[in-house]
Amino acid sequence: MFGLGSITGSNSAVFDPENDIPSLAGKVILITGGSSGLGKQSLIYLARKKPSEIWFTSRTRSEAEETCKDIREHAPDTTIKPLTLDLGSFKSIRSAAQLLLSQINRLDILMLNAGVMGIAPGLTKDGYEIQFGINYLGHALLTKLLLPILKATANEDHAVRVVILSSYSHWNAPGGGIQFQHLKTTAEQIPTLQRYAQSKLANILLARQLAKEHPEVTFVAVHPGAADTDLQAGVTGIGLVERILNATLNRFLLYQPVETVAKHQVWAATTIKELVNGEYYDPLGLPGKRRPEATDEDLMNRLCNWTEEELKAFSTLES
């Protein structure tokens, strides 16, 4: 269904961040989950191109301070600013969005990078299956709150991008793609990596829906590649076959270093190539290799309507 290169990100050699990212002068950027892994590496690549401001979210002040220190070593002249955010809390998301909007007058790149994978059953603070709540629903709310400034920026500069991290693992979503009846439970009857997969399928559908509703902004979902990050190390509650697969991937070096894998999401955020709005891209820049449910209009509309209903109490900023 897809080639090895599209899974691992091994064809990322075609993109050289140092030479292929254009100047980001005057741009304002926000990356969720910027304190480690792919998010932090994306910060490094983008900060070197001297945007006006580059913001990143983290869960704790100590993580943020350490990240700022590290980024300044790579790009000492960059204005980098942390934003405390818990994607498992609608209240935290709204507060973070409100603070950000009080500090910026434009937003050129929004990279929805943060996420969890294969963790133990649980609920977000608002009562949603934890992987779906963090990976999809929290990002959907954040994007909704930032849409006005994204669209205003797009009126001045048509190169506004929202990059939503998905995964080739969306192929592993349960039957029907999304099990709506279990989204407000711990969904323990669904294997942990299938719960992860349905959240990543939802991210692809989110990009398609937003592109349809707001064509002035470019929304894309990307599978960056299989990265050797803390996300892989945190996988728990998986069966023997999945453990063997993970061990095999590690042994044969199919998990690539973050320096390689982060190139794809940075490419999607900065390439001068015109992207297909609402598309899903495998690395590097390969479109269209999606599970059939990822292009299902009925499923997309159902997810959109469900999401609107769940987020309506938090969809406007507090006065």
Domain boundaries, the chain: 4-310
* 80 Cα distance to chain centroid: 19
Arithmetic mean of pLDDT over the chain: 90
**Catalytic: which of 40, 200, 255, 280?**
200
**Catalytic: which of 45, 168, 196, 281?**
196
CATH topology of domain 4-310: Rossmann fold (3.40.50)
* pLDDT at residue 242 in the model: 55
Beta partners for residue 165, in sequence order? 222
Query: How many Å apart are CA 36 and CA 32, to the nearest integer?
Result: 10
Please confirm, yes or no, whether 168 is among the known catalytic residues.
no
Q: Looking at the predicted structure, is the pLDDT value of residue 2 above 70?
A: no
Q: Looking at the predicted structure, is the pLDDT value of residue 190 above 70?
A: yes
Residue 26's CB is within 10 A of a number of other CB atoms, namely: 12
Q: What is the pTM of this model?
A: 0.91
Please confirm, yes or no, whether 49 is among the known catalytic residues.
no
Which token pair is 110? 């929004």
Query: How many Å apart are CA 210 and CA 140, to the nearest integer?
Result: 10
Which helix H or strand E contains 261, and what residues bound it?
helix 258-270
* pLDDT at residue 47 in the model: 97
